């Protein structure tokens, strides 16, 4: 049997202990990502993701080449895979906190440009609705006038 064959420190069962951490990190990362997507912070997210991707390289190098007890173990590679997620949580968390404070103060940001666009779309839609109402009213008046002029001619014929 190998070193880990009889329940050593780095067994498969021990590796399963990192899965709840992985799920928690993924959930927190999704929440912060959702906040930044809602606030239209696409450029910041791009640069943060590049930084997180670069952080993966040293993490894998440490796991693979460092003379530690956990070198070349499955749990170490899983933990190295979480390093970019931790970097994103840190960067997205800071930006989310800053942006949410700006939103609560009514300051401008990328979300304000989109809001202005939405306001113009809403105003345009309202103008279209008013124009449609006016056209419907005009059509109704024309139909009423046509109907009354038809009835006037019939009343004249009946009285004659």
Residue 126 has pLDDT above 90, yes or no: no
Of the residues 107, 131, 149, the one at which a domain ends: 107
On whether both 116 and 76 belong to a single domain, the answer is: no
User: What is the residue range of 37's domain?
Assistant: 1-107
On whether both 48 and 124 belong to a single domain, the answer is: no
On whether both 112 and 62 belong to a single domain, the answer is: no
98-109 pLDDT per residue, tens: 999 998 888 888
Model pLDDT, residue 87: 95
Of the residues 107, 126, 143, the one at which a domain ends: 107
Could you give the CA distance from residue 52 to residue 103 in angstroms, rounded to a whole number? Answer: 26
Section 72-79 average pLDDT: 83
Write down the pTM of the prediction. 0.62
On whether both 102 and 155 belong to a single domain, the answer is: no
Residue 144 has pLDDT above 90, yes or no: no
83-92 pLDDT per residue, tens: 999 999 999 9
Total count of domains within the chain: 2
In whole angstroms, how far apart are CA 63 and each of 13, 37, 67? 19, 33, 9
Q: Please tell me what DSSP assigns to residue 68.
A: S
Q: How far is CA 101 from the centre of its chain?
A: 18
Could you give the CA distance from residue 96 to residue 30 in angstroms, rounded to a whole number? Answer: 12
On whether both 85 and 50 belong to a single domain, the answer is: yes
Specify the range with the lowest mean pLDDT, choosing from 2-16, 29-43, 95-109.
2-16
On whether both 153 and 120 belong to a single domain, the answer is: yes
């Amino acid at each position: 049997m190998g070193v880990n064959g009889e329940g050593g420190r780095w067994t498969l069962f021990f590796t399963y202990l990192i899965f709840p951490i992985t799920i928690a990190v993924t959930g927190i990362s999704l929440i912060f990502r959702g906040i930044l997507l809602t606030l239209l912070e696409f450029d910041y997210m791009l640069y943060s993701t590049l930084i997180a991707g670069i952080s993966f390289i040293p993490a894998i190098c440490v796991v693979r080449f460092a003379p530690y007890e956990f070198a070349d173990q499955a749990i170490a590679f899983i933990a190295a895979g979480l390093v970019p997620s931790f970097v994103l949580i840190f960067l997205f968390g800071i930006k989310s906190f800053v942006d949410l404070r700006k939103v609560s103060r009514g300051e401008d940001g990328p979300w304000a440009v989109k809001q202005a666009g939405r306001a113009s779309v809403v105003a345009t839609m309202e103008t279209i609705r008013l124009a449609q109402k006016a056209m419907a009213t005009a059509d109704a008046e024309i139909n009423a006038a046509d109907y009354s002029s038809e009835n006037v001619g019939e009343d004249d014929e009946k009285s004659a």
